[in-house]
Amino acid sequence: MAKQRLVIIGNGMAPGRMLEHLFEENHAAFDVTIFNAEPRVNYDRIMLSPVLSGEKSFEDIIIHDDAWYAQHNITLHKGAKVAKIDRTAKTVTSENGITAPYDKLVIATGSDPFIIPCPGHDLDGVLPYRDLDDTDAMTAAAKQGGNAVVIGGGLLGLEAAAGLNTLGMDVTVLHLMPTLMERQLDSAAGYLLEKELESRGIDIRCKSNTKQIIGEDGQVTGVELEDGTLIKCDIVVMAVGIRPNVALAKDTGLEVNRGIVTTNGMQTSDANIYSIGECAEVGGMVYGLVAPLYQMAAVAAKHLCGPTDALFQHSETPTKLKVTGCDLYSVGDFAEGDDREDIVLRDANMGTYKRVIIQDNKVIGAVLYGAVEDGGWYNEMLKSGEDISDMRDTLIFGQAYQGGGELDPLAMVAGMSDDAEICGCNGITKGMITSKITSMGLTSLADVRAHTKASASCGSCTGLVENVMAITLGDAFKLPEVEGMCGCTPHDHGTVRRLIKSQGLKSIPAVMQELEWNTPEGCSKCRPALNYYLVADWPGEYQDDQQSRFINERVHANIQKDGTYSVVPRMFGGLTTPDELRAIADVADKFEIPTVKVTGGQRIDLLGVKKDDLIPVWDDLNKAGMISGAAYAKGLRTVKTCVGTDWCRFGTQDSTGLGVRLEKLLWGSWSPAKLKLAVSGCPRNCAESTCKDIGIICVDSGYEIHYGGAAGLHIQGTTKLGNVETEEEVLEYCAAMTQYYRETGYYLERIYKWADRLGYDHIKSVIYDDPVARKDYYERFLHSQKFAQVDPWAERVKGAEAHEFTPMADLTPREAAE
């Protein structure tokens, strides 16, 4: 049988999901052509809010990349908006002139943001919040700082407001109704949400009716309310709702009501045309949340493949708000009524609120704020219509309190019925997961995600899915390697760094509280990492926590295996003087330091210094003009040099002088791991620049900047960043790169690993190709250095942290005089 031609208008989440089902049912049945008005592949629109707040990148939320379309032989026309459907000729034509014939057509045009047609709605700076372009526009606007007004206090509006607030804008939310998210929350939960958002500095104004948007020279400058209040702003985000995008279907003569009218099999009034997604109206309802849209996709796929009795069925979809730190969950019907009973539990200290709505001894709705773990359980009871009279007294406390003692999560999952929904986004039940695990022999979470879609959208059910795997596989199931920084948190380093910035967390206890550390005080793995991240992210604001530093960084010397220390004074660029050398020799004699050694970093190491002697040793070295060489630090160590033009007949530039300048610029800075530089005066490379974290090679025309070398456990040559002409440029590029590394590196990750992770092309595009970004990083580095370039030895000689260096008491009995 010849392949049928399937044309899809729209490339959002619903048609993407439909194709997956289609290929699963019958891979060879269709030649697929997609027209996408957006110039890109299919991505997870639910996750735009984390992209806005900076918690995720666009790459993180792509569902199908270009390779996927190629693999399935799909013709994808990006940026091609369909202008016309010819139902007689059975063709589709786009605005840019592409025509494609179809046997079956799927309309998935989604919805358009609703723009209030008030005066000024067409000014520059009035943005909807719908797709990646809108998100990008908001991010760009937020870079300028200033004020933002968000019109609409619903799900999308609040996510936009929280995102803009995180990006540093002053945000005002205007909401027509008396409480926020009134469609999903009752007034009590709405109040708690309002309080939480206000505590973050978002100005919430309920019962506010916009009269007009005011502008100057075509650009937004403010919003005027009906009561005459004027709010100044630089952007206005309209998030008052969406409207099914039905224009094309209407022009084509299909039956259209609020949405494109379809049967429960997703068929429109034309038997060859289907419609799914936010544009479709089924059973008199249009939908905006992902779970019913995915159900439409599954049903449509079945019908396209042949006769089937699969039908779309309405079900209540729970709502969650994707704002980090605001946990809320609502499902079902929560209007008050005479025939309904409420069970409510509030905890003012914890800021939590739980309300379950009961009718005829059955759960018909639930609203949870602050404590949402039991949302899924209430939703399951709502769906099953279970009689709850027996557990009425304890219902509100949640599932863990039913049937006596606390239920462990595995037993809880084991007790779920096969119909119980595990993944709300994708409508995946426990039975669907267990049957795939068994039939396909799946053992990893990644495989289960790939084959069932469970936990593949918002990811909040990952723990449940793992428990289902544990029960199904028994001993064969191994929890995935903990990806967290350490056993204290499931968050990885990248997530923790992003959240420290995006939530403005400025102390170790704040990080542990807000990111829900599962140990009270962390451990020796996470505390030094957090301390570094806070030092790097909040220069001048964060008070370095000495107790979270390893001993070497606390006492500014290297502990040796016998408990003594080594002391290394700084020699900028490897240069020293007879006076410095004399002072070092005197110190070695005076304190009976057993070993004096020249290091690989061109300086001198005094080994075997007793702890109690550290301060006097430093005092003597300080007096001779020397400071700490930071040979113990996750920070700038040395800049190694060769002698360059001053002495060497091959030298092309003053490599020693440049090395001194670099070290004077960079010393004192903390970084994720140690940082070693070198400057070689010619390509013979006597300073070994090509195995350093950052290495400079002088050439006739200027300087080559290299980075990402390693010569430790791992050996790797550097990669060239590019050429520059002046010493000033070398300083700026190196400092900018160091700052980029400081801001994005994971604790203990050397530059070569960091560069492998981020990609050398990417780093080049930021530090070498983009002068604005480079300047930004350079400026931030200089700012941070204002607080970092303090000699820790001198501070301690003056008495800082004195407790580190002397015993608390000496109880050794005095020997009696003979």
Partner 1 sequence: MNIQNTQWVTIGALNDIPRQGARRVIAGPKTIAIFRTTQDEVYALEDKCPFKDGPLSEGIVHGKTVSCPITNWVISLETGAAQGADQGQTQVFPIKLEGQTIQLGL
Which residue ranges make up the site for partner 1 (CB under 8 A)?
519-524, 527-528, 546-551, 554-555, 559, 561, 563, 803, 807-813
Provide the 10 A C-beta neighbour count for residue 730. 24
Comparison of 104 and 491: residue with beta carbon closer to partner 1: 491
CB 520 to partner 1: min, Å: 6
Comparison of 309 and 562: residue with beta carbon closer to partner 1: 562
Q: Pick from 413, 449, 444: which is nearest to 431 by CA?
A: 413
d(CA 85, CA 81): 12
Q: For residue 705, with 0-12 CB atoms within 10 Å meaning exposed, 13-18 middle and 19 or more buried, which class applies?
A: buried
Comparison of 327 and 544: residue with beta carbon closer to partner 1: 544
Q: For residue 156, with 0-12 CB atoms within 10 Å meaning exposed, 13-18 middle and 19 or more buried, which class applies?
A: buried
Cα 521-527-531 angle, rounded to 5 deg: 125
Q: Pick from 422, 548, 551: which is nearest to 488 by CA?
A: 548
Report how far apart, in Å, the C-alpha atoms of 194 and of each of 175, 185, 201 are.
Answer: 11, 11, 11
CB 521 to partner 1: min, Å: 5
CB 562 to partner 1: min, Å: 9
CB 811 to partner 1: min, Å: 4
Helix 430-440 × helix 462-473 angle, to 10°: 50
CB 603 to partner 1: min, Å: 24
Comparison of 527 and 570: residue with beta carbon closer to partner 1: 527
Comparison of 362 and 554: residue with beta carbon closer to partner 1: 554
Comparison of 41 and 555: residue with beta carbon closer to partner 1: 555
d(CA 244, CA 296): 15
Comparison of 180 and 614: residue with beta carbon closer to partner 1: 614
d(CA 670, CA 684): 31
Helix 727-744 × helix 760-767 angle, to 10°: 120
d(CA 189, CA 182): 9
Alpha-carbon Rg for the chain in angstroms:
32
CA dihedral 585, 589, 594, 596 (to 10 degrees): 0
CB 816 to partner 1: min, Å: 15
Comparison of 67 and 808: residue with beta carbon closer to partner 1: 808
d(CA 270, CA 107): 12
Identify whether the C-beta of residue 280 lies closer than 8 Å to the C-beta of residue 262.
yes
For 238, residues 6+ apart whose C-beta sits below 8 A from its C-beta are 113, 114, 115, 116, 121, 126, 127, 128, 129, 151, 152
Comparison of 346 and 525: residue with beta carbon closer to partner 1: 525
d(CA 656, CA 572): 9
CB 524 to partner 1: min, Å: 3
Here the tokens at position 304 are 């396209």
Q: Pick from 503, 155, 113, 130: which is nearest to 320 by CA?
A: 155
CB 632 to partner 1: min, Å: 12
Identify whether the C-beta of residue 462 lies closer than 8 Å to the C-beta of residue 425.
no
Phi, psi of 188 (to 5 degrees): -65, -45
CB 561 to partner 1: min, Å: 7
Identify whether the C-beta of residue 113 lies closer than 8 Å to the C-beta of residue 242.
yes
Identify whether the C-beta of residue 537 lies closer than 8 Å to the C-beta of residue 503.
no
Comparison of 527 and 796: residue with beta carbon closer to partner 1: 527
Say which residue the tokens 């690993």 belong to: 753
CB 572 to partner 1: min, Å: 30
CB 534 to partner 1: min, Å: 16
Helix 727-744 × helix 526-537 angle, to 10°: 130
Comparison of 218 and 807: residue with beta carbon closer to partner 1: 807
Comparison of 598 and 811: residue with beta carbon closer to partner 1: 811
Report how far apart, in Å, the C-alpha atoms of 590 and of each of 315, 520, 594, 603, 613 are.
Answer: 83, 46, 11, 20, 10
CB 764 to partner 1: min, Å: 37
CB 742 to partner 1: min, Å: 22
Query: What's CA 129's distance to the chain center, in Å?
Result: 19
Q: Pick from 239, 39, 274: which is nearest to 156 by CA?
A: 239
CB 518 to partner 1: min, Å: 12
Comparison of 440 and 800: residue with beta carbon closer to partner 1: 800
Comparison of 88 and 547: residue with beta carbon closer to partner 1: 547
Comparison of 359 and 806: residue with beta carbon closer to partner 1: 806
Identify whether the C-beta of residue 154 lies closer than 8 Å to the C-beta of residue 190.
no
Provide the 10 A C-beta neighbour count for residue 385. 12
Here the tokens at position 673 are 């791991």
Comparison of 440 and 551: residue with beta carbon closer to partner 1: 551
CB 522 to partner 1: min, Å: 6
CB 523 to partner 1: min, Å: 5
**Collapsing DSSP states into helix, strand and coil, what is residue 263?**
coil
Phi, psi of 40 (to 5 degrees): -160, 180
Comparison of 97 and 813: residue with beta carbon closer to partner 1: 813
Provide the 10 A C-beta neighbour count for residue 426. 23
Q: Pick from 660, 618, 613, 620: which is nearest to 641 by CA?
A: 660
Q: Pick from 126, 190, 184: which is nearest to 160 by CA?
A: 126
CB 515 to partner 1: min, Å: 16
